Structures are given as structure tokens and as C-alpha cells.
Amino acid sequence: MNITPLLNLLSRWILFIAVAYKASKTHEKSWVLLGTAFFIDGLNVESYIWAPLGVHVVKGAYDVASKISNFAIAILLIWGALHLKYKKSDFRHVVVMAVFAVTAYLWLFLLAVNAFGGDHFTLKSSFPSLALGGSLVYLGIILRDYAISKHHVEELFPWGLMLLGVLELTYPFTRQVEWYSTMAFFAAAIFRLIAALGALKFVFYPIGGPGSTRVIDIKSGAYLFPDREYARERLGNLMTEPTLVMVTREDPSVLKARLHPDALVFWVTRAREGLINERPTVYAVSPTNIGILVDLIAKAVNRGYRVLCVDAFEYLTVENGFDVAFKFLTTVKDLLMAHGGSVVLMVDPRSMDPRQEKLLEREFKRD
């Protein structure tokens, strides 16, 4: 039994599920676009996948139908990668994508009217394969630079996509070489599976556990302090705690030198996304991604982190409103308390109105 078609189909749907889950948690346009691309890829019109499974494309439609999916996937991958990098689409990006879409349509029109002749497979496939292969390589590069941690299992995600893209670029020239194309189809399945495994790790298991036990004896509870120095006087140097999780606005390049190597930092910023330092682990998280920030903290707690320090509450309030930011605090506080942990909130009372200050004092003990 030839498992290559099944492996290829399975890896495509794993990629879609992982990216779709990421999109559902972040609500970011980039992951929605990428998820849509991988959904189309899961239903891609490729005879070597569907024919062994008993699904056959109508004769005469294959040449055009298979290229439509190539162009659609390429446009969505490039568009999604641009949003990963720039967090938006600028005018120049829209112009480039519009030119590309028109060119793709003209190519499909030429295929439909048989302008390339009957047997010019390499010519017919050249531009669609260039578009799809180039978009996969570009997305892989953007993922490595802006979203994926390096030297970890999740780096298989971009590398698998880049290898798949390079293989796709050779498709017009090697597809009709029977002995090579068989190996190429199997290699494509392996590269997709590599990307799928990396995507699963990136989306569902982004955080490891602390390698050391607690060194600071803090009674389980929720504490409120006006600043970090006052908290240090009362609780000790939290920076030396290996089970520490920080939600902060402080520059991580300055902060990391003072932290225990096992500490975990969520740097709240719009400038970056993903892992930016390994020891201590520093993740950049958008301030509006409250849902995914809660999920990341929950995963950290499940892996043994027990002290949460939040000194970015004012910024979260500005970006989301007090009610959303306060709900975030109560959610993570309940999570830590349920595991015998501690939450240390540092907020300047002058930044809060009397009602907000009373709500904070009701949940957190002012020391």
C-alpha cells in the first residue's frame, strides 16, 4: 500500500487545524489568512493525492483547477506573511497583491483557451509553481524572523515549509521524470509532516517548565504594591525566583540580565511577536491578545510556574479598557491560587480612579 497520498493529506489537515486554532485564540488577521490558505491546500486539486483515494477530477478541468488552488494559496500565504511582519497591509502591499492577482487570472485564462498548446507541461506549470513555491519559502522566512523560536522543535514549522517551497519550484521540470517524481511526492509528504509537527509544538506546547524549584518563600496569595522596589522590600528579590512569570513592559534586553535563567517573561508590546530570548524565556505578546496571554500563563502554571508578577496593568488598561484588564487579573489570580501560587500586582494608585482602586484592593492585598 502506498502511504504517500494519505501522509500528504493528513499533514495538510494537521497544518490547517494548528493554524486555525492559533487564529481562534489570537483573532489576528495573519493567522486567519494563513489558516484559509492551509484549508484550501487540504482540498488541493492534485491527482496523485485524490486518485488513489478514489476521487477523480473531471477530465479536461485538471489543468486549470489545479492552478487555481496554487494561485489562491500563494496569495493568502504572502498576504498572511505580510501581516505577520508588518501587522497590516500597506498601500504598496495591496498594489503588489493586485498585480499578482491579475497576472494569475491572465495565466488561468491562457490555460483555459489552450494558448500554451497541448503538451507544454513545464511552461503551463512554471508560473503557478513559482508563485506557490516562492510564497512557501517567504512565509517560512517570516515565521523564523517574527514568530517562531529558534533552536526548538517549533522551528520545524518554517523549515518544513521552506523545504516544501524549494521542492515546489522544481515541480515543472521534474514532474514528468517518473523515478524522480515518485521520490519528490514522498519528500513533499515528509516536509509537510515536519512542518505540521513544528506547528503543533508552536501552537499547543510553546512553553516548557522551570528546571529549578522555588527559592523564595512567598505565602500563597494576591499582593498589591505601588512599585517593584516596595515589593522587593516586602517579599524579597522576585528576579531570582526560577518559577517566576512576569507580564511587563520593561525592555527585555535590560530585564533579562537580572532574572533567573528559568524565569518566563511575557513582554507586552505591539512591536514583536513570539519568542525573542531563550534563557530566560521571553515572549513578545500583543497587549490586545488577552485571551492568548491567559492561555500562555495557564500553560506555564501547569508546567510548574508558581509566582506571577504583573507590572503592565496600566498599559493593558489603556489598550483594552479597565474592565477587560481587570477580568484578566482575576482570571490569572484564580488560576495561580488554585495551584498554591502567588500573584504580585504592581500598579501606581495614582493611575486609577477611586472605583478602580477599590476593585483592585478587593482582590489584592495591599501590603
Instruction: Give the pLDDT of residue 151.
Output: 56
Contacts of 296 by beta carbon, 8 Å cutoff, 6+ apart: 206, 207, 266, 283, 285
88 with 125, same domain: the answer is yes
Nearest alpha-carbon partner for 167 in 206, 134, 202: 134
Cell of 147: 514568530
Instruction: Give the pLDDT of residue 314.
Output: 92
Measured between alpha carbons, how far is 189 from 167 in angstroms, rounded to an integer? Answer: 11
Cell of 108: 488561468
226 with 199, same domain: the answer is no
188 with 311, same domain: the answer is no
Tell whether 117 is covered by a domain: yes
61 with 106, same domain: the answer is yes
Strand partners, 366: 224
CA distances to 118, 241, 248, 308 from 263, rounded to whole Å, are 63, 7, 13, 10
Q: Ramachandran region of residue 290, left (φ > 0), alpha (ψ -120 to 50) or beta? A: alpha
160 with 23, same domain: the answer is yes
**Beta-strand pair 274-277/281-285:** antiparallel
8-state DSSP, 216: S
229 with 83, same domain: the answer is no
Tell whether 211 is covered by a domain: no
181 with 227, same domain: the answer is no
Instruction: Flag whether the pTM goes above 0.85.
Output: no
Quote the number of domains for the chain: 2
CATH number at residue 294: 3.40.50
Nearest alpha-carbon partner for 133 in 98, 175, 179: 175
Give residue 251's identity as a one-letter amino acid code. Answer: D
Last residue of a domain, one of 204, 234, 252: 204
Tell whether 209 is covered by a domain: no
198 with 233, same domain: the answer is no
153 with 235, same domain: the answer is no
Q: Which domain holds residue 121?
A: 4-204
Q: What is the pLDDT along the chain (367 residues), one digit of tens a residue?
A: 577 777 888 888 899 999 998 888 777 888 999 999 999 988 875 655 566 666 666 666 677 777 888 999 999 999 999 988 887 888 999 999 999 999 999 999 998 888 887 778 888 889 999 999 999 999 999 988 777 766 568 889 999 999 999 999 998 888 778 778 788 888 988 999 999 999 988 887 666 667 666 667 778 888 888 887 887 888 888 888 888 899 999 888 888 888 888 889 999 998 877 777 777 888 888 898 888 899 889 888 888 888 999 999 999 999 999 999 999 999 999 999 998 899 999 888 778 888 988 888 888 887 6
Measured between alpha carbons, how far is 247 from 283 in angstroms, rounded to an integer? Answer: 10
